[in-house]
Amino acid sequence: MYSMDQLLQFDHVSKVYMRGRTALNNVSLNIGSGKIIGLLGTNGSGKSTFMKIAAGLLQPSSGHVTISGTPVGLDTKSIVSFMPDRPLTEAWMKVSDAVAFFQDFYQDFDVQKAHNMLEFMNIQLNDRISALSKGMNERLQLTLALSRNARLYMLDEPIGGVDPVARGKILDAIVEFYNEDSSLIISTHLVRDIERIFDEVVFIRNGEIVLHDEVENIRMKHGKSVDEMFKGVFAE
Partner 1 sequence: MSIEFDNNLPIYLQIMTYLKKEIVIGKLRPGDKIPSVRELAAELQINPNTVQRTFQELEREGIVETRRGLGRFVTSEEEKIMTIKKEMAGELLENFIKGMQELGFEEQDIVAIVTDAVKP
What residues line the site for partner 1 (CB under 8 A)? 34-36, 168, 171-172, 175-176, 178, 180, 192, 195-199, 215-216, 219-220, 223-228
DSSP 170-227: HHHHHHHH--TTSEEEEEES--TTTGGG-SEEEEEETTEEEEEEEHHHHHHHHS--HH
Q: Do residues 191 and 30 make contact, with C-beta atoms less than 8 angstroms apart?
A: no
Pick between residue 199 and residue 208 the one whose CB is nearest to partner 1. 199
Identify which of 217, 65, 60 has the alpha carbon closest to the alpha carbon of residue 152: 65
Task: Tell the smallest beta-carbon distance from residue 175 to partner 1 (Å).
Answer: 5
Rounded Cα distance between 200 and 32, Å, is 10
Q: For partner 1, which is the closer residue by CB, 101 or 178?
A: 178
Shortest separation between residue 44's beta carbon and partner 1, angstroms = 26
Which C-beta is closer to partner 1: that of 12 or that of 196?
Answer: 196
Residue type, 75: D
Of the two residues 77 and 224, which places its CB atom closer to partner 1 in the complex?
A: 224
- Give whichever of 36 and 67 is closer to partner 1, judged by the CB atom: 36
* Closest separation in Å from C-beta 188 to partner 1: 15
CB 37 within 8 A of CB 202: yes
Q: Helix 134-146 crosses helix 164-177 at what angle (to 10 degrees)?
A: 10
For the bound state, the minimum distance from the C-beta of residue 177 to partner 1, rounded and expressed in Å, comes to 9
CB of 197: closest distance to partner 1 in angstroms?
Answer: 5
Is the Cβ of residue 20 or residue 223 nearer to partner 1 in the bound state?
A: 223
Report in angstroms how near the CB of residue 81 gets to partner 1 at its nearest: 19
Question: CA-to-CA distance for 142 and 163, rounded, in angstroms?
Answer: 16
Q: 3-class DSSP state for residue 196?
A: helix
159 near 187, Cβ under 8 Å? Answer: no
